[in-house]
């Protein structure tokens, strides 16, 4: 590290559990790029100050995590068209006039679903949650050609708002439903993507839906949480015969996409695989 070292960082609340510093600092080591990465806890009331401060300090790029993925948009100088449609960003790239926002969550999950052979095209899908991560994932599933998307959330109005926005681009593909009314779903097996923070460390004893009857609907359960490596949601999926996947690959691939934007490079697959192995060891897989 020297006076020419570029700095990138994560902002959110909480951030103490994050593996992003491991990902990006290892990428810089393997790619021989003079960049370091750290994480800053930012309270909601301080978000504008944090973005302005990062710009003033010459920070090269930021990742944005909960609860700021939507709230950060008014403080950007520019936004990628896809991120604008989604209404959530997780990556900020320095430009001449300020930060430009991108959404690499959609890239990260798309790559994970392809690797795990989770079929979205011409399939019906259930998404749990309607927050910032859910926005990207709902758009992704519609973009991938889902026949039907059931959006289940505790706040029906929030899910209905997201459904209307996605349907405005893709037609009537998304239907909102109160999460407790899951039994209204047509009988069948569905890929289920869990986008809420329920089950995130340290509240590992919780699942977004506790009722075991729900898990009879699951063919593949994808939880975007990676800590713990096996959430209660995943355990329930497996108990009912479904495959289950955590969010580690999504985290890795969205991070790689951000790193490539910041540094104008391509990360080889063998490097991605090496870093994934390190991440798995770190969380005890």
Residues known to be catalytic: 69
Ranges of H-type helices in the chain: 20-31, 47-56, 81-86, 105-115, 132-143, 156-170, 232-239, 248-263, 269-282
How far apart CA 72 and CA 63 sit, in angstroms, is 11
- Name residue, tokens 């969380």: 283
What is the sign of the dihedral through the CA atoms of 166, 157, 12 and 206?
negative
Residues in the chain: 285
How far apart CA 69 and CA 87 sit, in angstroms, is 8
């Amino acid at each position: 590290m020297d006076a020419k070292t570029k700095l990138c960082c994560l902002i959110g609340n909480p951030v103490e559990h994050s593996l992003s510093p491991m990902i990006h600092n290892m990428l810089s080591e393997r790619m021989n790029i003079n960049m370091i990465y750290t994480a800053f806890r930012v309270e909601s009331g301080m978000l504008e100050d944090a973005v302005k401060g990062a710009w003033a300090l010459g920070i090269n790029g930021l990742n944005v995590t909960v609860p700021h993925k939507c709230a950060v948009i008014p403080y950007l100088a520019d936004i990628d068209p896809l991120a604008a449609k989604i209404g959530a960003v997780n990556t900020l790239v320095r430009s001449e006039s300020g930060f430009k926002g991108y959404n690499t969550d959609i890239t990260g999950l798309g790559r994970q679903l392809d690797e795990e052979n989770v079929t979205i095209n011409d399939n019906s899908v259930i998404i749990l949650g309607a927050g910032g991560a859910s926005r990207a994932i709902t758009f992704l599933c519609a973009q991938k050609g889902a026949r039907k998307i059931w959006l289940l959330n505790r706040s029906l109005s929030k899910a209905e708002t997201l459904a209307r926005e996605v349907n405005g681009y893709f037609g009537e593909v998304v239907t909102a439903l109160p999460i407790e009314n899951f039994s209204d779903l047509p009988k069948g097996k569905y890929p289920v993507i869990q986008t809420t923070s329920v089950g995130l460390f340290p509240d590992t004893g919780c699942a977004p839906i506790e009722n075991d009857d729900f898990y009879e609907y699951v063919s593949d359960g994808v939880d975007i949480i990676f800590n713990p490596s096996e959430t209660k949601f995943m355990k329930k999926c497996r108990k009912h015969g479904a495959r289950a996947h955590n969010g580690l690959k999504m985290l890795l691939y969205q991070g790689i996409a951000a790193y490539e934007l910041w540094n104008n490079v391509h990360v080889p697959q063998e490097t991605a695989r090496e870093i994934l192995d390190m991440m798995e060891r770190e969380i005890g897989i």
